Copies of this chain bind each other. A is one copy, B any other.
Amino acid sequence: MNKPALSRESVLDAALALADREGLPAVTVRRLAGEFGVTPMAMYWHFANKDELLAAMGQAVLFELEVQAEASFSELLRGLVTVLRKHPAAVSLVPTQMFATSQGLQVTERALALLAELGFSVGEAANIARTAMDLCVMLVVGEPGREIGMDECEREKHLAGKLAAIRGLSAEQYPHVLAAAEPLTGVGDAEEFYRSSVELFVAGVEARAFALR
């Protein structure tokens, strides 16, 4: 439990780590101050207020993103997903910071360029690019069976409860839901889940582009 010096960067690191450990609601001005052995008000030298802290956390997540100039659409999205998955609890802070960070602007730029090549209008391309990036966020935030802020044991109980609830359903009314109980409550292979979800979206984009001709 070594305490690095208080600075914008060290606070941001601590905030992301805390979020990943105990969930975003655990990220509190007072709590962070406590971790640094410092008064809550010390934070207000480094951040105007908590909103600025949260915004900076969203930007910090995006900071690790590397956008290849020649990346394909699915490479772009997979790269984004990979970065987002490193800080699952902070991912919900990312969408608002997309245009506030050079990495976010770079993915957007590349995505728009690819969509223009495919023949989409500026407006269509903008909508698709936005939706694509929000999709990545959503996949990570909503990854089945990855509710954060609980330890392994607690999570298992929670998951077992959800499974049991579905198992108790009427087989006449919800046959498919019952048959899909496990894959609905927990994701089997996370890599496969992300890969195929991204591919599905890209397939839609390509099908739509083809229909434009």
Q: Which residues of A contact B (CB under 8 A)?
A: 95, 99-100, 105, 108-109, 112-113, 116, 122-131, 134-135, 137-139, 142, 144, 162, 165-166, 169, 173-177, 179-180, 183-184, 187-188, 193, 196-197, 199-208, 211
Chain B's nearest CB lies how many Å from the CB of A70? 15
Dominant secondary structure of chain A at its interface with chain B: helix
Chain B residues positioned under 8 Å from A188 (CB to CB): 123
Given contacts A127-B196, A134-B142, A201-B204, 10 further A-B contacts (CB under 8 A): A109-B176, A124-B196, A130-B184, A131-B138, A131-B139, A134-B139, A200-B201, A201-B201, A203-B204, A207-B207
State the oligomeric state as a number of copies.
Answer: 2
Pick the residue among B123, B137, B138, B207 that contacts A206 (CB under 8 A): B207
Chain B residues positioned under 8 Å from A123 (CB to CB): 180, 183, 188
Q: How far is the CA of A123 from the CA of B169 in the complex (A)?
A: 19
Q: How far is the CA of A137 from the CA of B92 in the complex (A)?
A: 13
Q: Which 8 A-B pairs have the closest CB atoms?
A: A204-B204, A112-B176, A126-B183, A207-B207, A126-B180, A203-B207, A203-B204, A138-B138
* Nearest-CB residue, chain B, relative to A200: B204
Check B203–A127 contact: CB distance below 8 A: no
Q: How far is the CA of A78 from the CA of B124 in the complex (A)?
A: 19
Pick the residue among B166, B173, B193, B205 that contacts A204 (CB under 8 A): B205
